[in-house]
Amino acid sequence: MAKRNIEILVGLFVLLGLLALVFVALKAANLTSFSGGATYTLSARFDNIGGLKARAPVRSAGVVVGRVTGITLDAKSYQGVVTLDVDRRFQFPKDSAAKILTAGLLGDQYVGIEPGGDDKNLQPGDTIAQTQSAVVLENLIGQFLTGKAAEAGTAPAPAPAASGALK
């Protein structure tokens, strides 16, 4: 009987371990929110979306208010068009701004919405007019290095060392 109890406990422990593994996998894949609530669709155009991915969170004041559902390239303007599903509980003014932000220094990217002050709200299918593209770390480093190289090229040359003995 004691052996059977130990086998049941080991089985429960293994089952809990598998459930924890599934939870971690869903969290890593950004699929932990299974909210079936009503949403509405917005879109935003960005010059550079950086590493933004579908299913990335949409946040306002740090609170998740929706998800990125699609990313496409506009063939005419060559801008990235990001489609957002926002929870109906959260209504944003028409003059709101969308930014692609990074969680931490090298974390995942998400869309941040800053509410505006307009009396009218965005309607389903509207496009957020004010956007700010992603800051790409490689571009910043390249600009920094280019600036330092330009400074080095315009700096005055060092005075030649005196040769010979002192008089």
What is the per-residue pLDDT for 25? 80
**115, 40, 123: which is closest to 84 by C-alpha?**
40
pLDDT score for 24: 83
**10-residue averages of pLDDT along the chain (167 residues):** 87 92 76 68 94 92 93 94 95 95 83 94 94 81 81 63 54
Question: Pick from 130, 131, 37: which is nearest to 85 by CA?
Answer: 37
My answer on whether 115 and 133 are in the same domain is yes
Residue 69 neighbours by CB under 8 Å, 6+ apart: 41, 54, 55, 83, 84, 85
Identify whether residues 67 and 125 lie together within a single domain. Answer: yes
Domain ranges, residue 23 = 1-32
Pair 21, 85 in one domain: no
**What pLDDT score was predicted for residue 50?**
87
Predicted TM-score (pTM) of this structure: 0.67
In-domain check, residue 162? no
My answer on whether 103 and 74 are in the same domain is: yes
Domain count, the chain: 2
Instruction: State the pLDDT at residue 134.
Output: 83
- In a domain? residue 76: yes
